[in-house]
Structure 1
Amino acid sequence: MFLRLFTALALLLSTVSPAIAAGGGMVSAADPRAAAAGQEILRKGGSAADAEMAMMLALTVVEPQSSGIGGGGFMLYQDARSNKLTSYDGREAAPAAAGPRYFYADGQPLSHSAAVPGGKSVGVPGNLRLMAMVHRQHGKLPWAALFQPAIRLARDGFAITPRMEDFLSRIGNIDSEWGKSYLMADGRPRPVGAILRNPDLAATLADIAARGADSFYVGPRAQRIVQTVNGARRNPSPMTAGDLAAYDAKERPAPCGSYRGWRICGMGPPSSGAVAVFQILKQLERFDMKALGKDSPTAWHLIAESMRLAYADRDAYLGDPDFVKVPVAGLMDPAYLAGRSQLIATDRSLAHAEPGLPPGAEPRAVVAGNEVPSTTHFVAIDAAGNVATMTSTIEGPWGSGLTVDGFFLNNELTDFDIVPEKDGKLVANHVEGGKRPRSSMAPTIVYAPDGSLRLAIGAAGGSTIIAQVAKALIGILDWGLSAQEAIALPQIYAPGDTVVVEQGTALAAMAPQLTALGNQVRAGTLPLKANAIERVNGALRGAADPRSEGVALAQ
């Protein structure tokens, strides 16, 4: 019953504010209530940055299993007046006391599942520092105005959606009595349609709205965060008040490259998103993907092969550039990628994908990543043409399971490689004090050959993010699909020697042809959730993954 009502609400919002706008602005988010928050801010005269931050705060309330102020994120911002593209790193950081064997017990590495619950997996949250930096540089409305939609949602209540109910059924890692308030007395999830209120979070947001981001990082709230992770029942953390006070968001270079005349820009290290997405595309450039088309098993085979090579490089070389040399220019070098492309054949599969040796790099060991699929993405474009695209996360479902003042704390530090070395070499993504773990988050902006905006996009779902964004860009730029159609395409995901095809789709039906080419193919359910806004013939068109509850709303 509620699913029908929720769907009807989303459709009503889209009808009142259609996902096509010839003038004005637009937002797209993974939850209609967050999208409505961004729309409200645009209508009040806010910039794309203002709308983006309001959506981040609203998602803290309505999508607490995936993101929020207890986590971090990455954001790209295109300023229409200066034409400057800036990328913002609000990735969580390890406590200063952390070392390479941070996730060891009795001399042995913890399994990933054992390392997630409790305090040690919590990194210093970055979203509010990112928000403060972005608002200083690009905000138009007062700081406090951006909090009002989220405060109302937390205070007045919001309904459990089918997606949240599904996550509630997997809530076993929650280690706080407040977090368990999402459950009924017998431990079962509250049902779809049940109204939840979060007065603690409403008070927290009101306080930060009044006192600024510093009130999160210094003072009583910071002390409560430290006490919570220090006193966790499982895996207590050595985080200190000094770790929170010292944290700040950072501007990072936004790596850009050319694909068939389009300029693709994304988020650089410590995210692997921009590099890996670009590698996948560039390695395919010598193939006529347009002629092959979306219904060709050969096309999907080529995409899988290119993904395998890109993920191998990602796992070897990407990490926090403040701690490890990351050869971004070498990894995106056209000549290097042309050589990597020669490993791809139309009629057979690689037996095993190894990392290459890009210019400026030293050989490194490959360790597959640990990212857990959750996260969220949202996009805003205002009437002036400013563009914001941001991916935000607390890592796995419900993060560490710990809560403070109504919000969940992340488990982002389990994105580090738990075992710090392989074959006698330290891996790029090993734990160090103050270091930020590697991510797959891939907020992306695409520019047309004339330099104008073509598309802003991103996705959620752990390391599938890279595959989702690359697939959507191929759909739009090679196959001439709309952003909505490209996001809705079935997903292929090849982070290693196994190629996963989305179960129950036309792509899964191609499994025999893909297997005949030598691929190890498995059909499976993938955590897919992408959002985008594109500009076509002067009009904005929104897109949201049909597998999600997301919508795009015009101003």
Structure 2
Amino acid sequence: MRTLPIAAGLLALTIANVLPAQPAVITPGPVTAPKGMVSAADPRAAWAGAQILQQGGSALDAAFATLIALTVVEPQSSGIGGGGYMVYSPRGGPAVTFDGRETAPHAATNTWFFKNGQPMPTREAIPGGKSVGVPGNLRMMALAHSRFGKLPWAALFQPAIKLARDGFVMTPRMNRALASSIETGAMSAEARALYYAADGTPKPAGTLIQNPALAKFLGEVAARGADSFYVGPNAQAIVATVNGSPRNPSQMTTGDIATYDAKTRAPVCGMYRGYKICGMGPSSSGGTTVFTILKQLERFDMTALGPNSPTAWHLIAESMRLAYADRDQFIGDPGFVSVPVAGLIEAKYLARRSALISPDRTMTSVTAGSPLGAPKFVCKAVQPVERGTSHFVAVDSQGNVASDTSTIESPFGSGLMVNGYYLNNELTDFNIEPMKDGCLTANRVEGGKRPRSSMSPTIVWGPDGKIRLAVGAAGGATIPAQVAKAIIGVLDWHLTAQQAIALPTIFAPGGDTVYVEKGTFLETMVPQLQALGHTKIDYRQPISFKANAIEWANGRWAGAADPRSEGVAVSQ
């Protein structure tokens, strides 16, 4: 298993400056363990989670220590300034899901992102205050920790505090993100001082970065609890920063922050070839979309076709087109719109949708279906692309499993920084235009509402009732496509989780265009895909994909991290 594609010298330096030496395993080779393990997109964060496992923490404790550490070492993608979702299985039992998605200020309206009476381009709407939603990660952590945590709250913060105080090495991926996202990465003076040289260019890979402001703030939250983020000086600083932003000032209040609530949700679960698949329900579109892609393929012999068959990838693309059409039409915050979850995953409905798929030709056009309970007043609207997300998985010796996806949306979020962490730009995950084809969209902006998300933390149980796989990904709207592909790789093509994650990604988000991953064997299949009717083919760069997983195989946990990323698996 290839888990860390960064240079060996930088890897050694990275590990050396993470934490004191302990008997964990971190390696670019295969990582297996009979006890516990963490897989994450950054080695320092994975290592932080593994330390918590060694101290007797639960998988949930380890996942949250990983999340806090990502705030420090992967600020372009995740952290306490954003939100996320967790699917958790206590001792291998039924899934419990937690919703820490950000919310819009109560002053937000359908025309929140309008300027001079016209909708703003997404790129223009991202930087500054209006794109910032009330961060949800810490309230979600507190809610979940109160039920399933083993170690004290403060213990979860210690690895990240050390990283921020003593410093961490800038990786090539972070350097590239800083260079390509200067508009947001360097927007705040605090961020420029941390990550950029005097001439305005990013500090080079290998530079030791210290973030004392973040170390101090994390220490305060560790000592005082999550509420110290949502009331008092930090909440006041967020409000002052977003409302006083020179770009797109907001109208957030301290009341918006103080009243934020994380929520437990009903998981979205269904059966695929004898395996139970459980994911996140709305406001995430992940659970319904991943399951729909899979279930619509169940009548086809994907095992016989195998990963080298153009027909197999054609079928996956066609199933995605149908799944994303339903996603874009129906999914939104269930507190504001009626979401027909049961109808979307009903077997008879998906059998009807599957019947539209042919192995030897493409569908001429794709529209949303009519699932049971579907509202009649919402119209389809496609969500913009983003890349600022991170997924991580943790398992422990008691059989607890955590699959968590966390995000600040675009690289470096809104570009605004408070107390050493970036604030998200999640509100641009709403449909900037509230109307489409003469009717309101489910994912329009409204005060207090959670924007629709693509995050897809997922856990898979085998026919024996035991957990087989925990998986998730980063990459905006491509996330359900990456997760479904990985599950097909493991369950249908009998690959290891590492091999399945490493497979190239095909992405067909509802319309006529199919995207294939550039530089992979999918490119060589383009003529065959065109012959099947996919005439509109475009390409995605590998850097936009980033998945992590842990599977149970041969009596041991086996970690998997995307070879396109700097990710690793670390055993207890």
The TM-score range, normalised by the shorter chain, is over 0.9
Q: Distance in 1 between matches of 2:529 and 2:167?
A: 48
**Alignment match of 1:521 (pick from 537, 549, 552):** 537
State which of 6, 10, 16 in structure 1 corresponds to 2:10. Answer: 6
Between the aligned partners of 1:31 and 1:355, the Cα distance in structure 2 is 38
Question: Is 2:192 the counterpart of 1:180?
Answer: yes
Instruction: For residues 460-487 of structure 1, give each alpha carbon's deviation from its aligned partner in whole angstroms, at most 9, with x where no partner exists.
Output: 0101101100000000010000000000
Cα-to-partner distance string for 1:412-437 (whole Å, 9 max, x where unaligned) = 00000000011221100001110000
Q: Give the equivalent residue in structure 2 for 1:307.
A: 320
Gaps of 5+ in 2: 17-24
Q: Distance in 1 between matches of 2:95 and 2:271?
A: 16
Q: 1:514 to 1:10 in 2, by over 3 A?
A: farther
More deviation, 110-119/368-377:
368-377
State the Cα deviation string for residues 482-525 of structure 1 (Å, max 9, x = none): 00000000111111211111111111110110011110222331
| % identical equivalent positions | 62
Q: Does 1:349 align with 2:349?
A: no
- Cα distance change, pair 16–472 in 1 and its aligned pair in 2 (3 A): closer
Which of residues 491, 498, 512 is equivalent to 2:513? Answer: 498
**Cα–Cα, structure 1 residues 11 and 544, in superposed 2: closer, same or farther, change >3 Å?**
farther
Residue 2 of structure 1, CA deviation:
7.9
How far, CA to CA, are the matches of 1:160 and 1:326 in structure 2? 42
In the alignment, structure 1 residue 234 sits paired with structure 2 residue 247: yes
Match of 2:47 among 19, 36, 39: 36
Task: Give 1:203's match in structure 2, choosing from 216, 219, 244.
Answer: 216
SS in 1 for 2:560: strand
State the one-letter code of the partner of 1:547.
Answer: R
Instruction: Look up the match of 1:136.
Output: 146
Structure 1 Cα separation of the partners of residues 519 and 356 of structure 2: 30
1:71 is aligned to 82
> How much has 1:135 moved relative to structure 2?
1.1
**Structure 1 residues 331 and 9: CA distance shift in structure 2, 3 A:** farther
Residues 373, 463 of structure 1: 8 Å contact kept: no
**Residue 352 (structure 1) shift:** 2.0
Greater CA drift, 344-353 or 307-316: 344-353
Equivalent position of 1:298 in the other structure: 311
Aligned to 2:448: 434
AA aligned opposite 1:165: N
Partners in 1 of 2:495 and 2:30 — Cα distance?
A: 19
In the other structure, the counterpart of 1:160 is 170
Equivalent residue letter for 2:346 = D
How far, CA to CA, are the matches of 1:120 and 1:258 in structure 2? 41
Q: Is the 8 A contact 2:14 2:169 kept in 1?
A: no
1:483 corresponds to? 497
Q: How far does residue 15 in structure 1 lie from its aligned partner after superposition?
A: 4.3
Work out whether 1:97 is the aligned partner of 2:107. yes
**Residues 236-291 of structure 1: per-residue CA shift (max 9 Å, x gap):** 11100000000010000001000011000000000000100000000001100000
The equivalences for 1:81-120 within 5 A come to: 83-120=93-130
What is the 5 A alignment of 1:144-543?
144-170=154-180, 171-173=182-184, 174-181=186-193, 182-363=195-376, 364-495=378-509, 496-519=511-534, 520-526=536-542, 527-543=544-560
Q: Is the 8 A contact 1:118 1:229 kept in 2?
A: yes
- Helix, strand or coil for the counterpart of 1:379? strand
Q: Residues 55-108 of structure 1, C-alpha deviation per residue, up to 9 Å, x if partnerless?
A: 000000000000100000000111118x24210000000001111111111111
SS class of match (2:548):
strand
Give, in angstroms, the shift of residue 16 of structure 1. Answer: 10
Distance in 1, matches of 2:201 and 2:6, equals 18
> 2:479 corresponds to which letter in structure 1?
I
In 2: Cα distance, 1:244 partner to 1:401 partner: 19
- Using the alignment, how far apart are the partners of 1:192 and 1:234 within structure 2? 29
1:14 Cα offset (Å): 2.6
Deviates more, 1:449-458 or 1:366-375: 366-375
- Bigger shift: residues 505-514 or 351-360: 351-360
Structure 1: distance between partners of 2:113 and 2:484? 32
Aligned partner of 2:83: which letter?
A: G
- Tell me, what secondary structure is at the counterpart of 1:549? coil
Shift of 1:52: 0.5
What is the rounded CA distance, in whole Å, between the counterparts of 2:116 and 2:290 in structure 1? 39
One-letter identity of the residue aligned with 1:535: W
Conserved? CA contact 1:3–1:161, under 8 Å: no
- Paired amino acid for 2:189: E
The whole-number CA distance in structure 2 between the counterparts of 1:274 and 1:3 is 36
How far is 1:3 from its partner?
Answer: 3.1
**Helix, strand or coil: the match of 2:393?**
strand
Distance 1:2 1:330 in 2: 45
For the residue of structure 2 that corresponds to 1:187, the secondary structure is coil
Contact 1:154 1:201 in 2 (8 A): yes
3-state DSSP class of the match of 1:169?
helix
CA distance in 2, matches of 1:285, 1:10: 44
Alignment partners' CA distance in 1, 2:470 and 2:71: 22
> What is the distance in 1 between the residues matched to 2:104 and 2:315?
38
Deviations 1:32-60 (A, max 9, x none): 00010001000000011110010000000
**What is the alpha-carbon distance in structure 2 between the residues aligned to residue 16 and residue 396 of structure 1?**
28
Equivalent residues of 1:417, 1:429 under 8 A apart:
yes
Q: Distance in 2 between matches of 1:9 and 1:467?
A: 34
Match of 1:125 in 2: 135
RMSD of aligned alpha carbons: 1.5
**Which secondary structure state, in structure 2, belongs to the residue aligned with residue 274 of structure 1?**
helix
Q: Which runs of 5+ in 1 are unaligned?
A: none
Find the aligned partners of 1:542 and 1:319 in 2 and give their Cα distance.
33
In the aligned structure 2, how far is the partner of 1:179 from the partner of 1:379?
29
In structure 2, C-alpha distance between the alignment counterparts of 1:422 and 1:465, rounded to whole Å: 24
In 1, Cα distance between equivalents of 2:546 and 2:28: 24
CA shift for structure 1 position 190: 0.6
* Cα distance in 2 between the residues matched to 1:446 and 1:84: 11
Q: Distance in 1 between matches of 2:365 and 2:40?
A: 37
- TM-score when scaled to structure 2? 0.95
More moved, 304-313 vs 364-373: 364-373
Question: Taking structure 1 as the reference length, what is the TM-score of the superposition?
Answer: 0.98
**Deviation per CA, 1:303-340, whole angstroms, max 9, x where unpaired?**
00000111111000000000000000000011111111
Cα offsets for 1:107-143 (capped at 9, x unmatched):
1111101110100000000000011111111111111
**Contact in 1 for aligned 2:48/2:66 (Cα 8 Å):** yes
Deviation of residue 8 (structure 1)?
A: 5.0
1:327 touches 1:358 (CA, 8 Å); kept in 2? yes
Give the secondary structure class of the aligned counterpart of 2:495. coil
**Cα deviation 1:395-448 (Å, max 9, x = unaligned):** 000000000010000000000000001122110000111000000000000001
1:384–1:10 Cα change, 3 Å:
farther
